[in-house]
């Protein structure tokens, strides 16, 4: 039974990687850079996109919104006048807990890839399985809210280990928490030494210009944009 299960899982991950590579080819052909954006539920992914997507100084951006059910986040982003496509994972498995390469692939015909420089894929809120499934992304960004405690890198190591940027969000709440920011950053370095990190608050705007600049730097692969 266990060996069968391991085999099924290995085959599923192999199949996923094959489709992720196909996605990547399509993204490269269209000249679009792709960010897989991940966090626990309620860490502030959508709020951090609301803060920056309307003004990326010439970078043409689109969004894939992944949720188990509903279109709350896509509706929030609709006012930004960027292309947004909602993906719901609920038809499978009583709600898949992550996006995989195949579900992302089903959305590609709905996106004007040739007219984009950057695609942000907002994953399902979950610190485990989203880290296991490549979707064809160039970069992985995760949001870690200071309300979640300092121990999360040690408890969800794959997520922290495989990301290229950690956004430490809700820092406006630090005065009201018993939270040791140095301990969090120490734990981040334990699993992903030296990984880039930005301290931000989607609510007050602190650190948001750095987040905007990071995204624009990813999109500007030839260094020709302003």
Q: Does 23 bind its own copies (CB under 8 A)?
A: no
Whichever of 65 and 117 has its CB closer to its own copies, that residue is: 65
Among 154, 204, 205, 210, binds its own copies (CB under 8 A): 154
Q: How far apart (Å, rounded) are the C-alpha atoms in residues 59 and 169?
A: 24
The reply on whether position 86 binds its own copies by CB under 8 A is: no
> The tokens 């997507």 sit on which residue?
53
Beta bridge partners of 26: none
Q: What would the two tokens of residue 80 be?
A: 């930004």
- Return d(Cα 42, Cα 29) in angstroms, integer: 34
- 208 is a contact residue toward its own copies (CB under 8 A): no
Rg (CA), the chain: 17
- Is residue 7 a contact point for its own copies (CB under 8 A)? no
> Quick one: which of 92, 112, 205, 217 contacts its own copies (CB under 8 A)?
92
Q: How far is CA 194 from CA 80, 142, 144, in A?
A: 34, 15, 16
Lookup result for tokens 């420089």: 117
* Binding segment toward its own copies, per CB under 8 A, in 49-57, 111-119, 127-135, 206-214: 127-135
Q: At which residue do the structure tokens 């196909």 appear? A: 22
Does residue 183 belong to the site contacting its own copies (CB under 8 A)? Answer: no
Pattern 39-78, its own copies, x by CB under 8 A: -xxx------------------------xxxx-x------
| Residue 37 and residue 63 in contact, taking contact as beta carbons nearer than 8 Å | no
- DSSP one-letter string for 180-216: -HHHHHHHHHHHSTT-EEEE--TTT-TTHHHHHHHHH
The stretch near its own copies (CB under 8 A) out of 28-36, 48-56, 78-86, 151-159 is 151-159
For residue 29, give both structure tokens.
Answer: 């052909």
Helix residue ranges per DSSP H, 108-201 = 152-155, 157-161, 181-191
| Span interacting with its own copies, options 1-9, 22-30, 104-112, 193-201, rule CB under 8 A | 1-9
Q: Is 201 in the site for its own copies (CB under 8 A)?
A: no
The least CB distance from residue 97 to its own copies, in Å, is 4
Closest approach, Cβ 72 to its own copies, in A, equals 5
Tell me if 147 contacts its own copies by CB under 8 A: yes
Interaction site with its own copies (CB under 8 A): 1, 5-6, 8-9, 12, 15, 40-42, 67-70, 72, 92-97, 124-129, 131-132, 145, 147-149, 151-152, 154-158, 170, 173, 176-178, 203
């Amino acid at each position: 039974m266990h060996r069968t299960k391991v085999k099924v899982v290995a085959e599923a991950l192999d199949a996923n990687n094959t489709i992720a590579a196909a996605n990547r080819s399509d993204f490269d052909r269209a000249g679009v850079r792709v960010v897989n954006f991940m966090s626990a539920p309620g860490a502030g992914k959508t709020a951090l996109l609301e803060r920056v997507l309307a003004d990326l100084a010439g970078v043409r951006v689109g969004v894939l919104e992944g949720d188990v059910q509903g279109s709350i986040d896509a509706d929030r982003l609709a006012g930004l006048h960027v292309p947004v496509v909602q993906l719901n994972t609920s038809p499978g498995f009583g709600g898949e807990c992550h996006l995989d390469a195949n579900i992302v692939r089903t959305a590609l015909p709905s996106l004007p890839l040739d007219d984009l420089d950057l695609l942000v894929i907002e994953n399902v809120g979950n610190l485990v399985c989203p880290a296991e499934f490549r979707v064809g992304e160039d970069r992985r960004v995760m949001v870690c809210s200071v309300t979640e405690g300092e121990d999360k890198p040690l408890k969800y190591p794959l997520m922290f280990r495989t990301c290229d940027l950690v956004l430490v969000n809700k820092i406006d709440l630090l005065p009201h928490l018993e939270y040791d920011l140095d301990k969090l950053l120490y734990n981040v370095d334990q699993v992903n030494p030296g990984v880039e990190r930005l301290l931000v608050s989607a609510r007050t705007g602190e650190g948001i210009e750095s987040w905007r600049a990071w995204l624009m730097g990813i999109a500007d692969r030839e260094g020709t944009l302003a």
